[in-house]
Amino acid sequence: MNGQPAVSASAPGKMIILGEHSVVYGKPAVALAINRRFYCRVSRSGEMILNGRRVPAFVHPHISSVINDNGLSGISMDAGTQIPTSSGLGSSAALSSSLSLAVRKLLGRDTDQESIAKDAFNAEWNAQGRASPIDTSTCTHGGGVALNCPVGIGRELWRISKNDRSWNVSEFDVPEMTFVVGHTGIKAPTGPLVEKVRKYRDSNTFAAEIVDEIANITLEGMERMKQDDRVGLGSLMTKNHKLLSILGVSCPQLNKLVECSLPYSYGAKLTGSGGGGCMIALTDHPDKVARAITLHGGTPYIVNTGVPGVQVDVKKTK
Ligand code: MEV
């Protein structure tokens, strides 16, 4: 880098099991961190340097939000990722969370998870125009994270509010479950999809009822997960996919990958904002699901869950 002291950090991607889009309106959601990570290494700089090249400060809204929140106008940042971008797997949340930790450590500021999750949520909000903290809190904390879950499901971590919305963020013990992610290969940025749902919900009571119904099945799914009832959880995931399709955020490729996974799965659904990106299937037959996804034009990843959240990567920090 530039000879300055440097800090390396990484954060995992995530997959939403139930509740995307509805969670933007203060409703519940549940997500798991996955074993694909975003890595960054930062050192002080008067200007914005990304992977060795000088770039305008505003070039990446998540980066500028995190560094501005920490009182900087520039940083030298090397970045690498195992998380496909604009795919519903939390690549921008993992970027924001790992960058926040690295910058805070470099500046000697607090590095508790709550401060990092709040920096990362601000970045997501500024970039998307509207957001919930499900992605950023999951990428920060790791493991399993539930928003606005009932008492008895999780242990409260922190609370995040924005305008008239607020979310209680909790962690929960992740049961043994196998998921396959299927990537359509279609990039679909989150902001426009969140805006599409907002317009539909604001102008149509049927859409508002669908958002409420997603909240109901998300609460039921949390109970099923706690009881290790995969059959029940899977059927709620498939129902959630149908409701998201009615909201207009699925697409033919996502529907195809969901359909072809169902014969070998407890349930399947799109994950994240939709419009392309990825779907997930809960299964005891990951190889069969992966083969079906490949045969139908997708790229499968058999993912591990229960992975750690944001962390300083000590070996790479000097
Ligand atoms: C995107 O991963 C999840 C959405 O619910 C947006 C958000 O919660 O910020 C669609």
> Any idea what the CATH number is for the domain that residue 45 is in?
3.30.230.10
Question: Each residue of 258-291: pLDDT tens digit?
Answer: 999 999 999 999 999 999 999 999 999 999 999 9
CB 60 less than 6 A from any atom of ligand 1: no
What is the number of structural domains in the chain? 2
Confidence band for 318, pLDDT divided at 50, 70 and 90: low
Does 157 share its domain with 197? Answer: no
CB 24 less than 6 A from any atom of ligand 1: yes
- Dist. CA 228 → ligand 1 center (Å): 25
For residues 30 and 94, give the distance between their C-alpha atoms in angstroms, rounded to a whole number: 17
Atom of ligand 1 nearest to the CA of 249: 10
Helices (H) and strands (E) in the chain, counts: 9, 13
Question: Each residue of 180-233: pLDDT tens digit?
Answer: 999 999 999 999 999 999 999 999 999 999 999 999 999 999 999 999 999 999
Does 118 share its domain with 140? Answer: yes
Measured between alpha carbons, how far is residue 205 from residues 96, 211, 239, 310 in Å? 35, 10, 20, 39
Does 88 share its domain with 47? Answer: yes
Does 275 share its domain with 186? Answer: yes
Question: Each residue of 228-268: pLDDT tens digit?
Answer: 999 999 999 999 999 999 999 999 999 999 999 999 999 99
CB 87 less than 6 A from any atom of ligand 1: no
Does 191 share its domain with 240? Answer: yes
Atom of ligand 1 nearest to the CA of 271: 2
Among candidates 1, 29, 12, which has minimal Cα distance to 225?
Answer: 29
| Per-residue model confidence (pLDDT) at position 317 | 62
CB 134 less than 6 A from any atom of ligand 1: yes
Which residue, 126, 158, 174, sits at the end of a domain? Answer: 174
Q: Are 91 and 81 in contact (CB under 8 A)?
A: yes
Residue type at 109?
R
The answer to whether residue 58 sits within a structural domain is yes
Does 155 share its domain with 62? Answer: yes
Any idea what the CATH number is for the domain that residue 206 is in? 3.30.70.890
Average pLDDT over residues 130-149: 97
Does 170 share its domain with 256? Answer: no
| Per-residue model confidence (pLDDT) at position 129 | 86
3-state secondary structure of 288: helix
Measured between alpha carbons, how far is residue 125 from residues 160, 162, 211 in Å? 12, 9, 20
CB 139 less than 6 A from any atom of ligand 1: no
The answer to whether residue 205 sits within a structural domain is yes
Does 105 share its domain with 55? Answer: yes
The answer to whether residue 1 sits within a structural domain is no
pLDDT-above-70 percentage for the chain: 98
Print the domain residue range for 42. Answer: 6-174
The answer to whether residue 54 sits within a structural domain is yes
Confidence band for 1, pLDDT divided at 50, 70 and 90: low
Does 124 share its domain with 258? Answer: no
Atom of ligand 1 nearest to the CA of 14: 2
Which residue, 174, 189, 213, sits at the end of a domain? Answer: 174
The answer to whether residue 91 sits within a structural domain is yes
SS3 annotation, 169-235: EEEECCCCCCEEEEECCCCCCHHHHHHHHHHHHHHCHHHHHHHHHHHHHHHHHHHHHHCCCHHHHHH
Instruction: Mention every residue, 6+ apart, whose C-beta is less than 8 A from residue 270.
Output: 88, 241, 244, 249, 250, 254, 258, 277, 278, 279
Token pair belonging to 178: 């196998």
The answer to whether residue 13 sits within a structural domain is yes
Confidence band for 64, pLDDT divided at 50, 70 and 90: very high
Range scoring the smallest mean pLDDT among 54-58, 101-105, 114-118, 164-168: 54-58
Which residue, 123, 141, 174, sits at the end of a domain? Answer: 174
3-state secondary structure of 236: helix
Q: Given a cut of 70, is residue 2 above it in pLDDT?
A: no
Question: Each residue of 293-315: pLDDT tens digit?
Answer: 999 999 999 999 999 999 999 87
| Per-residue model confidence (pLDDT) at position 128 | 86
Does 14 share its domain with 142? Answer: yes
Q: Given a cut of 80, is residue 57 above it in pLDDT?
A: no
The answer to whether residue 141 sits within a structural domain is yes
